[in-house]
């Protein structure tokens, strides 16, 4: 089963800001584990960011619910 959540400009920019403020840089070093905000979302929430359909796509309802509580 596939679960989705709406991708809006507002919630996506909060994720992007969080990524560049807290994940992308570790001290003065660049974090090489994640190459982009979409990579980070995938690793943290098992979530595909579908910009074409403007939605976040999850295979697990628990992951979707956790993501929704945190970001939406």
Give the predicted TM-score (pTM) of the model. 0.84
pLDDT tens sequence across 7-46: 999 999 999 999 988 888 766 666 667 788 999 999 999 9
CA distances from 63 to 32, 58, 59, 60, 69 (A): 24, 7, 8, 5, 10
pLDDT given for residue 30 in this prediction: 67
pLDDT given for residue 33 in this prediction: 76
Domain range for 44 is 3-71
Tally of structural domains, the chain: 1
């Amino acid at each position: 089963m596939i679960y989705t959540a709406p991708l809006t400009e507002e919630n996506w920019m909060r994720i992007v800001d969080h990524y560049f403020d807290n994940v992308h840089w570790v001290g003065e070093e660049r974090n090489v584990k994640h190459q982009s905000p979409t990579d980070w979302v995938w690793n943290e929430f098992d979530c595909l960011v579908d910009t074409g359909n403007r939605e976040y796509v999850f295979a697990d309802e628990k992951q979707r619910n956790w993501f929704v509580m945190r970001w939406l």
